[in-house]
Structure 1
Amino acid sequence: MYRKNDYELLYLICEDNETAQYSLIEKYNLLVWKSVNNVYNGYVPQGIERDDLYQEGSIALFGAFNSFDVDRCVPFFAFAKLCIERSMIGYMRKFSTLSSKQFYNSLSLDAFISDDVNLYFSDVLADNQEVSILTKYDEQVGHLYLYSPIITDFEKNVLILQIAGFSYSESANHLKCSVKKIDNTIQKIKRILN
């Protein structure tokens, strides 16, 4: 490991010296983590972890090695910090777009329908049904949680099973109650939601 200043190390990096590159990476590792914490403490889109930001910051640091211009009279520390933080912010912007939101909000067929109901999404779908039904289901369940304060957990479970396409008798079997109770619950929910 070299004990040289940043500019000497950058010169050696331009000459393909891996030891100099390793030294500068070690020196600026703390800056990358500090930038991760600064950026991560603000708004971070769903699906982004600290390690993702660290990796993006490390890649930006490598880029800063190659694109730094000594003639601009800017300290390398300031330039590297700017590159790292801009890269992390760009990475977060990329993941806050609609397409990535759809990716991270997609439903797994191996996921439970609800925490209270022991059914998988794949159990709900018949062989001839489209997977797009799950998207509609997810939207309807999302609306359901707007009404969470005014309906009970049992009513929520009944409604989830109905949205999933279960008959009254199938819902009664899963929730271990009578068909009449399912019917009464559905009627009560209709009155509440209207």
Structure 2
Amino acid sequence: MDEYQTCTDEELIVRLRAGENVISDYLMEKYKDLVRRRANAMYLIGGEKDDLIQEGMIGLFKAVRDYQPDRKTSFQTFAGLCIERQIYSAIQGSNRQKHLPLNTYVSLSAEEEENTMGEQWAENPEAIVIDRENVRILEEEIKKLLSPLENTVLSYYLDGYNYVQIGEILGKSPKSMDNALQRIRTKIRNYRESRKKYTK
């Protein structure tokens, strides 16, 4: 598969449509880290990260299946959209609601998206668009809530490290890192609830 590394994703999709089915496996492997980052950037209350990763991989599969090479949007942007949409649908389902309020969903992704991402979200009437400025403000507020250690732990967590790996990096016990992640999650929940009450 080394030959694929010199091709753009869009070129690979054209070849995939022409019958080179192994390219599907290559793209799934190439973008699985993107799935992990998106899953790490979303907190599902009562859910498991592995469940979100699984949903994200389904979204990635749909992106590989449905992407049209003549789109103005790059495959990477389209894949990010499909991954987020699939994870978001899982969050909706887990809450057993037809419409999920904005304040039950927290995105901590710092990645920049193209404007076309928002345009495609708008095609789905049940999709909620969180604009970049709102995300930036939310991230800043969350940073203020957390201690320096918790901010460091969160940064590693969003990069895909688990609590054992974070403990090894920081020279801390796995238990203390697990506790830190629980504190982070609790603080974010409490902040979300306070915003919910404030906006009523």
Whose relative contact order is higher, 1 or 2, with alpha carbons under 8 Å and at least 6 apart?
2
Which protein has the larger Cα radius of gyration, Structure 1 or Structure 2? 1
TM range (shorter): 0.3 to 0.5
